[in-house]
């Protein structure tokens, strides 16, 4: 049988890290900061969570440390893009490259190993109903983010900052502080995503273990038009496509074809959503970036 509970579980496990990172990316997007450093921040979260859990024996401290470390790392983007007005794309790529090198270096200096740190006594996150608490948190975060953006004054101002920073400034809203806030928040979320990956999905650290999940999150932000629910659906689509891809291999489809599944789905979804969008008049200018 093709559609079974295992498939859904597998898809939801793949979903959590991507969803957490994508939510962070979506908030940044709404505030007018194009954040493509999700991959790097997530990787920092992976390493910090494993290192902290190993030395303290508590996966919870690992999660906390991952959130803090990734938030601190996100300051590169905050200072670079908001204060110094640098190019967010260049900064994001630099952050992704730096994270790969930095975590490999730390892995070597802190643990004295190369490639992978794995130990049977490394404490991972507990599973409740098959999922880590961070998975439930990610679903709750979707609802919270959706409410904040649509109903709360903070969300309204945030959107104002993203769409018309000058207008927001004349109304007494400081765009910079809102942008700092969401970038740090995206750091926290990516840190949690990293902790979920390294202490939840698996219990180990491998160099470059995020393996493109941060990039998929960036695409999910675009596909979901930076709306929390849209991002959830887009990330879920990826999770399902990936899990289904694994199954298709079992049915004899070559790996090269099943590898393409998430990307084919993305292209299809992009095509459908843009085709629909074109027919409707634009309500929101998406090009308003400082």
Which residues here bind another protein, judged by CB under 8 A? 4, 6, 10, 13-14, 84-86, 108, 112-116, 118, 120, 197, 201-204, 206-209, 211-212, 215, 242-243, 246-247, 249-250, 254-256, 258-259
Q: Which residues on neighbouring strands pair with residue 117, listed in sequence order? A: 205
Q: Which residue has the tokens 């910090």?
A: 48
Decide whether 84 or 275 has the Cβ nearer to another protein.
84
Alpha-carbon distance 73 to 79, whole Å? 11
Nearer to another protein (CB atom), residue 56 or residue 208 = 208
* DSSP symbol at 131: B
CB of 164 to another protein, least distance (A): 20
In the bound state with another protein, the residue whose beta carbon lies nearer, of 87 and 143, is: 87
Query: Is the Cβ of residue 204 or residue 233 nearer to another protein in the bound state?
Result: 204
Minimum Å distance from CB 56 to another protein?
21
Q: Between 74 and 210, whose beta carbon lies closer to another protein?
A: 210
The token pair at 236 is 């879920």
Instruction: Report d(CA 174, CA 265) in Å as an integer.
Output: 39
Query: Least distance to another protein from the beta carbon of 149, Å?
Result: 30
Identify which of residues 259 and 272 has a Cβ nearer to another protein in the complex.
259
Contacts of 201 (CB under 8 A, 6+ apart): 13, 14, 16, 17
3 state SS for 36-54: CCHHHHHHHHHHHHHHHHH
Q: How far is the CB of 129 from another protein (least distance, A)?
A: 15
**Min. distance of Cβ 86 from another protein in angstroms?**
7
Q: Write down the least CB distance from residue 135 to another protein, Å.
A: 14
Q: Radius of gyration (Cα) for the chain, nearest Å?
A: 19
Residue 86's CB is within 10 A of a number of other CB atoms, namely: 15
Task: Give the tokens for residue 181.
Answer: 């806030």
- Return d(Cα 3, Cα 137) in angstroms, integer: 26
């Amino acid at each position: 049988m093709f559609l079974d509970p295992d498939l859904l579980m597998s898809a939801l496990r793949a979903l959590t890290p991507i969803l957490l990172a994508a939510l962070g990316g979506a908030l940044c997007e709404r505030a007018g900061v194009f954040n493509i450093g999700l991959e790097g921040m997530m990787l920092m979260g992976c390493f910090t969570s494993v290192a902290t859990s190993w030395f303290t024996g508590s996966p919870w401290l690992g999660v906390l440390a991952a959130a803090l470390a990734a938030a601190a790392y996100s300051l590169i983007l905050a200072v670079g893009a908001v204060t110094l007005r640098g190019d967010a794309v260049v900064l994001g790529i630099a952050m992704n490259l730096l994270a790969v090198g930095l975590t490999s270096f730390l892995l070597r200096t802190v643990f004295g190993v190369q490639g992978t740190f794995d130990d049977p006594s490394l404490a991972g996150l507990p599973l409740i109903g098959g999922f880590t608490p961070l998975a439930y948190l990610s679903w709750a975060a979707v609802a919270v983010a959706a409410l904040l953006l649509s109903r709360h004054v903070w969300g309204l101002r945030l959107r104002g900052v993203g769409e018309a920073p000058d207008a927001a400034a004349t109304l007494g809203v400081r765009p910079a502080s809102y942008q700092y806030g969401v970038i740090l928040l995206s750091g926290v979320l990516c840190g949690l995503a990293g902790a979920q990956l390294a202490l939840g999905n698996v219990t180990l650290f491998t160099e470059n273990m995020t393996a493109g999940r941060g990039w998929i999150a960036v695409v999910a932000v675009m596909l979901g038009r930076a709306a929390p629910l849209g991002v959830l659906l887009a990330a879920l689509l990826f999770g399902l496509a990936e899990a289904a891809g694994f199954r298709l291999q079992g049915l004899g489809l070559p790996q090269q074809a099943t590898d393409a599944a998430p990307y084919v789905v993305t292209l299809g979804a992009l095509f459908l959503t843009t085709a629909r969008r074109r027919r409707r008049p634009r309500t929101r200018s998406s090009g308003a970036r400082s």
